[in-house]
Structure 1
Amino acid sequence: MDTLNAILLGILQGLTEFLPVSSSGHLVIAQTMLPGFAQPGVVFDVLLHAGTMAAVMVYFRRECLLIASSPFRPAAESCPDRRLLLLLAAGSVPTAIIGLLFKDHVEALFDNLTVTSLMLLVTGFLLFISERFRGDGRREADLTLRDALLVGLVQGAALLPGISRSGSTIAVLLLLGVAGETAARFSFLLALPAVAGATLLSLRELSGLPPGTLPAYLAGAGVAFLVGMISIHMLLAVVRRKRLVAFALYCWLVGGTFFALSL
């Protein structure tokens, strides 16, 4: 894969990681359309996700700093941040279990356009019902252990290409009655441990990369970071204005089109 293709896929990743349309699904579709594209395992996809997660850490740097430092600050002032840290840790457990148990099976699906297209249709359904039946608007202080565990399970299922991680987790939180901006922020923060774990697991595959490939991969990750910063801002505005139905229609259109083409 050359640098131009890596940059184009980085732009695609940055746009689709946070907009609820499945970055993995779009990467599968795009990679099937690039002549001669090949990669060892899913290293490139993981590096692209690492780039967009770096965007989360920069965009929510204040929240990340408060959460990370909460165990070392006086309990009186850090109680809300410690509670959020525990919820994020709890939500990461089911994601990690699903990822470790089904990693090989999921990776095998990254070349399957039919499955990816069907999962995009599922993403569209989740977005549609969450917008139609979203709850009253619970805030961060109202999040429970049950919320965290359920969202962690959904995030684990979103390892499937075509299931939007941000879209599915935000949709479930909206259905649980969580306010839109709170749902988006918790979804972004919950992704950090999962992507960090996937990145660490994929590091051992770097030695198998073809010579000269790593610079192109890093260029793609860098572009994903820059575009991801813009996409985060866009999604927060979309959720706040209750416009997820438009993304549901988009997922149905893309999923339906490529499902038909894959048959």
Structure 2
Amino acid sequence: MDFLRAVVLGLLQGLTEFLPISSSAHLAIFPKFFGWDDPGAAYTAVIQIGTEVAVVLYFWRDIWTIGSGWVRGVFSREARLAQEWRMGWFVIIGSLPIVVLGLLLQDLIDKEFRNLWVIGTTLIVLGIVLGIAERVGRKSSPIDNLTMRHAILFGVAQAGALVPGVSRSGATISMGLFLGYERAAATRYAFLLAIPAVVGAGVYKLKDIGGENDYGVGPTIVGTVVSFVVGLAVIHWLLRYVSTRSYTPFVFYRIGLGSLVLVLVGAGVITAGTTVG
């Protein structure tokens, strides 16, 4: 049964990590519908490594270009004039807010933030934010126009994803739209910005797998592999989708799911609190 749950949760992770609908929210909500224990923040963080490996594989050329350009810039003044040098710093600086806040708020992330009252509310609120960003954003600026100030703002937005229901991609994409970036540009940068934070969090939480959590090492590996395979397909689909269509369907989905969660919790059909740390 643990492996069946792992497959289902890995499928959920792969389907929802890159869509602006919050994978961590889905991993907290859907086990409640089936009467399963909350997989917990540790399991959620670790299987996200699978989807980030999918990002690395899909964007390996971009990652190599940025990484090698940044390294050249360390040793060459001329190389520091290149876009790759700046983009490397943008990713590094943009990753700092979520790293710092993640360490400072670890206990809240593991427990209080996983309360379904919080998750249902953030699904609705950030859905509205995404809808406003989609409507008012100019969606005309390419990612080459990124500045350090904007990189910091992207990073601050990403840090909001420490609260399940916010959505890492949803927060950063919303910020990108507010700042006037093209949908595809904001989406690609959101994926790249997430790599250091998600992989770091997953590795950090490996020590907590198999403790009080019901999902041990084997199911965690299964969930991670499933999330990788599904996530790779979702990246390909989403980048094609946003090149011609809006995020509006995801806005309605977020508001609908958040409202359903609040109604079910309020009616006592599902419990709001977590059962594991």
The TM tier, using the shorter chain, reads over 0.9
**Match of residue 103, structure 1, among 102, 106, 122:** 106
Instruction: Confirm whether residue 260 of structure 1 aligns to residue 259 of structure 2.
Output: no
Alpha-carbon deviation of 1:144?
0.8
- Give the AA of the match of 1:121: I
1:250 counterpart residue number:
253
Counterpart-to-counterpart distance in 2, 1:210 and 1:138: 45
- Give the AA of the match of 1:19: L
Counterpart-to-counterpart distance in 2, 1:114 and 1:72: 45
Q: Give the unaligned 5+ runs of structure 1.
A: none
2:69 counterpart residue number:
70
Deviates more, 1:104-113 or 1:61-70: 104-113
Contact 1:140 1:182 in 2 (8 A): yes
Deviates more, 1:237-246 or 1:46-55: 237-246
Contact 1:136 1:177 in 2 (8 A): yes
2:7 counterpart residue number:
7
Alpha-carbon deviation of 1:33?
2.3
Change (3 A) 1:76 1:110: closer
2:173 counterpart residue number:
170
- Three-state SS of the structure 2 residue aligned to 1:243 is coil
Counterpart-to-counterpart distance in 1, 2:139 and 2:237: 23
Change (3 A) 1:113 1:139: same
- Give the AA of the match of 2:198: V
Counterpart-to-counterpart distance in 1, 2:259 and 2:36: 25
Counterpart-to-counterpart distance in 2, 1:105 and 1:222: 28
User: Runs in 1 of length 4+ with deviation above 3 angstroms?
Assistant: 71-78, 209-212
Alpha-carbon deviation of 1:97?
1.5
Counterpart-to-counterpart distance in 2, 1:90 and 1:212: 34
2:116 counterpart residue number:
113
- Give the AA of the match of 1:62: R
Change (3 A) 1:207 1:259: closer
Contact 1:21 1:123 in 2 (8 A): no
Counterpart-to-counterpart distance in 2, 1:210 and 1:127: 33
Counterpart-to-counterpart distance in 1, 2:180 and 2:258: 28
- Three-state SS of the structure 1 residue aligned to 2:111 is helix
What are the Cα deviations for residues 213-242 of structure 1, in whole angstroms up to 9, with x where unaligned? 211110010000010011112221232223
**Match of residue 227, structure 1, among 197, 205, 230:** 230
- Three-state SS of the structure 1 residue aligned to 2:202 is helix
Counterpart-to-counterpart distance in 2, 1:142 and 1:124: 26
- Give the AA of the match of 1:37: D
1:205 counterpart residue number:
208
Instruction: Confirm whether residue 148 of structure 1 aligns to residue 147 of structure 2.
Output: no
- Would you say how many aligned residue pairs link Structure 1 and Structure 2? 262
Contact 2:119 2:165 in 1 (8 A): yes
TM-score scaled by structure 2? Answer: 0.88
Counterpart-to-counterpart distance in 1, 2:138 and 2:215: 51
Alpha-carbon deviation of 1:205?
1.8
2:274 counterpart residue number:
none
- Three-state SS of the structure 1 residue aligned to 2:209 is helix
Counterpart-to-counterpart distance in 2, 1:140 and 1:179: 8
Contact 2:79 2:85 in 1 (8 A): no
Instruction: Confirm whether residue 59 of structure 1 aligns to residue 58 of structure 2.
Output: yes
- Three-state SS of the structure 1 residue aligned to 2:163 is coil
